[in-house]
Chains A and B, each alone.
Chain A
């Protein structure tokens, strides 16, 4: 009965390095969403993906950030050349989108610290 899984749970990167965050959706879910939470703020939508397709990336910064959800394997959020402002908690959610209204179920998050 695995829920949404994310790894790593904690990630430390130096400025200029790359960060790769992974997300495996709940069994039976084919829709994945990424959110970012800065300290003392709510979660902000970044991107919505289905298998091999980016559906909505309106919340993604224009540079350095990319996301994919391949046919096989987890969804990946990639941040190139990280800066201190990228330090945040990154949450992945998944849904089945059965019907018109549906819940998104969240993973435990990856806490990225940029030093």
Chain B
């Protein structure tokens, strides 16, 4: 039972353009969402989060949008840079634990 889904396993974007990573969830009780970035052989690094009382949160080049009615959130990276190439995980806070999606591998090419 996958409560958090990232349906695109990979995404390729040109440097300087916008990257949009999507995430869907099934449990309407989730009230806090996080995005993590992960390089190979390293642990996930926290990027940005959003509470369910908001529909947008911005931090530099990263913006997360939350659509509660659709149970959908997205991470926008603009402009994309080669160093952004990594696997991005969406996670929902379920009381004491994070429920992760399966990740989207982002490749930013010159």
Residues of A within 8 A of B (CB): 4, 6, 33, 35, 40-45, 48, 55-56, 58-59, 91, 93, 101, 103-109, 111
Task: Kindly state the separation between the CA atoms of A80 and B86 in the bound complex, as whole angstroms.
Answer: 33
Closest to A42 in B: B100
Contact B43 A56 (CB under 8 A): no
Assuming the contacts A42-B89, A103-B34, asked whether A56 and B97 have C-beta atoms less than 8 A apart, the reply is yes
Kindly state the interface size class of chain B when it binds its partner.
20 to 34
Assuming the contacts A42-B89, A42-B100, A43-B89, asked whether A103 and B42 have C-beta atoms less than 8 A apart, the reply is no
Majority SS at the chain B contact face: strand
Closest to A37 in B: B100
Q: Which residues B1-43 have CB closer than 8 A to chain A?
A: 4, 31-32, 34, 36, 41-43
